[in-house]
Amino acid sequence: MEIKKGIAVSPGVAINQAVVLDAEDYRIPLRHVSPQRIKQEVRRLDQAVTRSRQDLAELRDRARRRLGSETAAIFDFHLALLDDRSLQNKIRKLIRSDSVTAEFAVADVLRGYAKEFLQMPEYLADRVKDVYDIEKRILRHLIGQSREDLARLEEEVVVLAHDLTPSQTANLDRRHVLGLATDAGGRTSHTAIVARALGIPAVVGLNDVTASVNAGDTVIIDGNRGVVIINPDEATIRQHRQYVERIAEFELSLDRLVNLPAITLDGHEVVLLGNIEFPHEAATVIAKGGQGIGLYRTEFLYLGREVEPTEEDHYQAYMQVIHEMQGRPLVIRTLDLGADKYTQERSPVPERNPFLGCRSIRFCFQNLQLFKTQLRAILRASLQGDLAIMFPLITSVMELRQSKMILRDVMEDLEEEGIEVRRDVPVGIMVEVPSAALMCNQLAEEVDFFSIGTNDLIQYTLAVDRANERVAPLFTPAHPAVLRLIKEVIRAGQRHDLGVSLCGEMAGQPEYTLLLIGMGLRTLSVAPPAIPEVKQLVRSMTMEHARRVARTVMAFDNDKQIVSYLRDQSRQVMPEAY
């Protein structure tokens, strides 16, 4: 039995056999297979080599037509190495002799070849890049087969990976994937956000869990405590099954809150909304007692697609959510693309630091047709429900004005085409960078509402990559600088009579509920599974207690002291959750 500690990002406990995914940009771990699977691994290798050969032949022919024979000759070396019988036999021999996966055998043999090239004269040493390219091409086909298998699961499993791409997380089947664990990631990584939205227990930031688990091993994923247990003994399994039953009883007790309002003991109402990534989650928001949707992330339309979604694709997705809402509020965030793998893979020159590059509203400015396509669909849908538009990653008044100008241009285009539009659709912004928080009084004069996006606000304020497991302990909503920025935005909203909500993952962590309400927030938007627990905490507190907590916290000077105090206060209000 082996126990690994990571970051708890989605509550719940899962106990089942493991499926392990590899990633082409990560060290392929040594993983043994049973003797019965050796033939299957050799067959997978042969299929991957055949597909790689087809890829290279197409690339060579295309290069010859466009760039001439000299450039196309680059791929002749790739094909020659790929067709080298001694190379293929070495890989097959390693699979058979050591009972390892095809992925490991390919990586091990080809990296051995790369080392040999590095020791040769310079003109041959340059060939090492070609060897790595061939390795990645074969691995891409091998791993691609694993990803396809993941989409077609027929039995319940827990999934372990170095990390999951947005397209992989978007295609997870909740019926069969009971838990997730990854080497990489933090509390606000894409994998974490999707896992919470789907209600899948998840632990991230485990560093090397994929190297420690073989396919078929029994694994416990504890998304409450941030623990993964590999090959647990019977006593540990029994203990965790009892723990699962206690969690289920607590969650069942929260079901009675679905139709009750989130009102404090002394009569102050709090609006609880849901964050969604996919249209079908709208029904879950209502089922969990949410009063609407405060953040509809729309990037899912681009995940796993070879072509960009059309205006009609956008429109139908938005109309599906509007139909589920039945008049409840819906806030659609415009596209936050640019820092994701989808756009970086399609870029001729991928950015070294995309989170500080051309992402979000900046990406939309540089891809106006894509931006206008989405705005057209949103404006058409706005006639059918209580819909608002929210621009992400606004850093200045000029960016906001430019966004609104493009929106007005789209309105005029639609009207010229005889398509009715709603001219008074509310427009707001995500306050998620320090510059926006510090300029909130000026920005308040130009918008109808603010929504505080703490995921990025924390990242940019503390200079901590939110998806980097190596600095995960430094990523905390409790840092005094972050809390002061949040407080300033709330005050600006009060001064300008603007609605202010908080839609970052911080809102769904119950230990922060007392603080946020005490700071003056009256609207929280959270992942749907978190709604009942946050509502229970609201219904168990008084406003005076919340304000006292906020005053005390704002006097502290370090995050550890703040977190300890907040957990203690929350435990007093709702002991059954701790």
Is there a contact between 380 and 410 (Cβ–Cβ < 8 Å)?
Answer: no
* Single-letter residue type at 385: G
Distance CA 492, CA 515 (A): 18
Q: Which of 78, 162, 190, 314 is catalytic?
A: 190
Task: Tell which residue, 273, 269, 355, 361, has the closest CA to residue 321.
Answer: 273
Cross-sheet strand order for the sheet of 177-182: 2-5, 227-230, 218-222, 13-21, 157-161, 177-182, 202-204, 7-10
In angstroms, the Cα distances linking 101 to 31, 44, 92, 94, 105 are 6, 9, 10, 9, 6
Side-chain half-sphere exposure of 291, counting CA atoms within 13 A: 14
**φ and ψ at 220, to 5 degrees?**
-105, 125
Is there a contact between 378 and 389 (Cβ–Cβ < 8 Å)?
Answer: yes
Beta-sheet pairing, 227-230 with 2-5: antiparallel
Active site residue 323: no
Beta-sheet pairing, 427-431 with 387-391: parallel
Distance CA 179, CA 201 (A): 5
- How many DSSP H helices and E strands does the chain contain? 23, 16
b/e burial code for range 298-329 (CB count within 10 A of at least 16 → b): bbbbbbeeeeebeeebbbebbbbbbebbeebb
Q: Which of 240, 364, 440, 503 is catalytic?
A: 503
Is there a contact between 432 and 297 (Cβ–Cβ < 8 Å)?
Answer: no
Active site residue 190: yes
Side-chain half-sphere exposure of 487, counting CA atoms within 13 A: 16
Tokens of 282: 């709208």
b/e burial code for range 87-123 (CB count within 10 A of at least 16 → b): beebbbebbeeeebbbbbbbbbbbeebbeebeeeeee
Distance CA 452, CA 447 (A): 14
Q: Crossing angle of helices 38-67/102-118, nearest 10°?
A: 50
* Single-letter residue type at 14: A
Catalytically active residues are 190, 503
